[in-house]
Chain A
Amino acid sequence: MALLEATNITKIFGGLVAVNDVTFTVEPGSIVSVIGPNGAGKTTFFNVLTGIYKPDKGRVVFAGKDITGWRSDQIAALGMRRTFQNIRLFGNMTVLENVLIGMHVHLHASIWSIIFRGRTMLREEAKARNKALELLSFVGIADKRDELAKNLPYGDQRRLEIARAMAGDPKIILLDEPTAGMNPHETAEATQLIRRLRDERGITVILIEHDMRLVMSISERISVLDYGSKIAEGDVQAIRTNPRVIEAYLGKGAAGHAA
């Protein structure tokens, strides 16, 4: 059974159809990519999946539940986490705290046990801390745990965002351009990290990326959006040779020359 099934999603802003009747399925344990030119509606599609926008049409089924119209936090609690294209960390909190925030839904200490410093609460906090540290070492920034997130170098901020997303024990993580602005070396490391997310942790990944080398090397399936509509879908080979995709990227008439 598919982990995530979005059917006929449409999202309209004023007169602009940002996402147009897109149907999209993700199998558990896979890495899939969503690509498309700037303004194609990729981020908007993510925003619909994660409940930040309500779709004007269509349904989203995740982990067997119809989550259409759910609030963002409910969807996150169900196990869908994301990163943001324009990194949205809690800049004035420490790296460790950022990860702890990601764990929020798994922390249950009641307000009474917080006020009276109950054992369960102390134990839970200690456990959360250990787990957060483990996640920070997984992404490779454990030594920076006490720095303020806003003071991290750019690449580390992206890593932290992934660690924060992992903190919720998600079934799926949506990565919005995780290597934007990175140099080739950093990109290679990020690619490695994404692979390990799936291979070592079993987390399904949906990826928005403009770096075609990364996309082609990592994805099992690729969906292509253009002007809000899905114009192609398939494995790497199929997308590489799809004339409509080449046209969307390079303009009319280019299809014959490329690939």
Chain B
Amino acid sequence: MTTSTSSQSLWQRVTAPLSSGPIAYGFLALYVLACSILLVTNPRTELSTDVVFVLFLLSMLVAYRSRVAAWFKVVLGVFALGVVLPYFGTLNPFYIDVATQAGIFTALALGLNVVVGFAGLLDLGYVAFFAVGAYAWGIFSTPQITEINPAWSPVDPVMFYPFLIIGLILGLITGVLLGLPVLRLRGDYLAIVTLGFGEVIRVVANNLDRPINITNGSQGIRAIERPPLIIVDQIRNLGIVADDNRLYQLFFYYLVLIIVLLTVIVVARLKHSRIGRAWEAIREDEVAAVAQGIPRVRMKLLAFAIGASFAGVMGVVFASKQLFINPPTFDLLRSINILAMVILGGMGSIPGAMLGAIIVTMLDLQILPRIAAVLREAQAAGAPIPRQFDPTQYQRLLFGLLLVVMMIFRPEGLWPDERRREEQHEVEITDEELEADKTAKQAGADSGS
């Protein structure tokens, strides 16, 4: 711990001038621009591109964290995520898929962060809510629905949009139904019960092809509908030829981007509200929190339900994007995967959860396969590497190590919750607070006159 504080101060000494004042603007602009140029000029799938890509995504978090004007952040964000990345995606579709995947998991990590990080409830069955949303859209958008009742028919694909809300509500309801009985439990029991619940949902999905075929059992649901692309014809009219798959990649990218943005805003506002404070109080000391009049179970339920509803929405998106879902998609490892993101980034920290989601997704989709390829080459060249060792198949080992190492050496995560890290420093007054003060004064002046 002592080493980390000293390195932190060094880190801070280096980054402080870059994160506020006029230098920050130049630095950020240069950073984003440099990454963008590097990406666009070398769109091949290789290690150097991976590194630049990660740096590129990181730039958004750095900007988020810097003390620059909000408009500047917006401009940078729109430029990088709204323009450069999609364009880069047309050059190398692989990366836009990675970005979309990272976005889906960012939203999930943010949702789980509300439960684990804000309220301190270790939920090991989070993926169950994701499954609920995914199955809802999977069943209702495909002929699977006729298996339940031959008189019913699949909904129009355009219903995808209202189903985002339905997914949210389904997640919410499931969250409340599970949470209501179990949130009275002590923390470690809760972890086991949610794990059990996640398994139950998976087993049920696996077996609910009888007596009525609801989930199509272990076969999963195929050919899940994607929503109609509203502006496709206009794009085609412009003379741009693009096949549907490419367009859908872009569509899902933008959709996920918007959802992530909304999620970040909602989560950040909750965190800095009476509700967020109450969660933090419960996490710190339940008895003391309750003695302040905070209804323990109700606040926990709220966190649980909010987290679950994010997962419900993302489930709908995920099912539609993947076109296919089956029970193993929603196994315990997936829950652990999301948990690892939250813990790696830092429990309770919003940029942390996002960072964790990016790192873990990149590990999963790019870094491990790349290591695997290197190993295979080495093996072919005669290096003594076990023939069965494929790093992409050892996610458990990786996440396991990650959890243990983080708990022992850095339980607060890579990007800890801000206030906690700057313990000794003056606490900055956030924009919200300033604005709140202003409004209050105004209100006072209004009523006075």
Contacts and interface: CB of A to CB of B under 8 A. Distances in A.
B274 A90 contact: no
Interface stretch (A19-27, A115-123, A190-198, A239-247): A115-123
A88 B287 contact: yes
A218 interface: no
Interface string A100-136: 1110110101010011010101110111111000000
A122 B281 contact: no
Nearest to A119: B439
A92 B435 CA distance: 25
B270 A114 contact: yes
A81 B289 CA distance: 11
Contacts of B291: 50, 52, 72-73, 76, 81-82, 84, 88
Contacts of A127: 440
Nearest to A116: B269
A104 B318 CA distance: 38
A224 interface: no
A107 B295 CA distance: 13
Contacts of B289: 90, 101
Interface string A153-174: 0000000000010011000000
Interface stretch (B91-99, B156-164, B418-426): B418-426
A92 B284 contact: yes
A257 B440 CA distance: 64
Nearest to A113: B273
A214 interface: no
Nearest to A168: B293
Given A93-B281, A107-B274, A125-B436, A117 B269 contact: yes
Contact of B277 (A88, A93, A151): A93
B188 interface: no
A114 B292 contact: no
Contacts of B437: 126, 129
A126 B442 CA distance: 11
Interface in B401-434: 419-420, 423-424, 426-427, 432-433
Given A50-B291, A104-B294, A105-B293, A146 B426 contact: yes
A130 B273 CA distance: 15
A101 B427 contact: no
A97 B419 CA distance: 12
B288 A109 contact: no
A94 interface: yes
A243 to B, nearest CB: 37
Nearest to A83: B291
B284 A93 contact: yes
Nearest to A98: B281
B310 to A, nearest CB: 13
A93 B435 contact: no
Contacts of B68: none
Contacts of A122: 435-436, 439-440
A248 interface: no
A203 interface: no
Contacts of B419: 92-94, 148
Contact of B273 (A84, A109, A146): A109
Contacts of A167: 292
A102 B292 contact: yes
B292 A164 contact: yes
Contacts of B436: 122-123, 125-126, 129
A234 B77 CA distance: 71
A90 B280 contact: yes
Contacts of A90: 280-281, 284-285, 288-289
A77 interface: yes
B14 interface: no
B275 interface: yes
Contacts of B265: 115
B284 to A, nearest CB: 4
Contacts of A77: 293
A94 B427 contact: yes
A97 B432 CA distance: 15
Interface in B248-283: 265-266, 269-270, 273-275, 277-278, 280-281
A11 B406 CA distance: 44
Contacts of B1: none
B290 A114 contact: no
B222 interface: no
A88 B288 contact: yes
A89 interface: yes
B296 interface: yes
Nearest to B267: A115
Contacts of A91: 284
Given A93-B280, A126-B437, A114 B427 contact: no
A71 B287 CA distance: 11
A77 B292 CA distance: 8
B278 A101 contact: yes
B381 interface: no
A89 B439 contact: no
A88 B274 contact: no
Nearest to A96: B427
Contacts of B269: 114-115, 117
B360 to A, nearest CB: 26
Nearest to B271: A114
Nearest to A161: B288
22 contacts: A52-B290, A71-B295, A73-B296, A76-B291, A84-B288, A84-B291, A90-B289, A92-B280, A92-B419, A101-B292, A104-B278, A104-B293, A114-B269, A114-B270, A114-B273, A115-B269, A117-B269, A122-B440, A123-B443, A125-B274, A126-B439, A168-B293
Given A114-B269, A164-B292, A168-B293, 13 more contacts: A73-B293, A74-B295, A81-B291, A92-B280, A94-B427, A100-B274, A101-B278, A104-B281, A111-B302, A115-B265, A122-B439, A128-B274, A146-B426
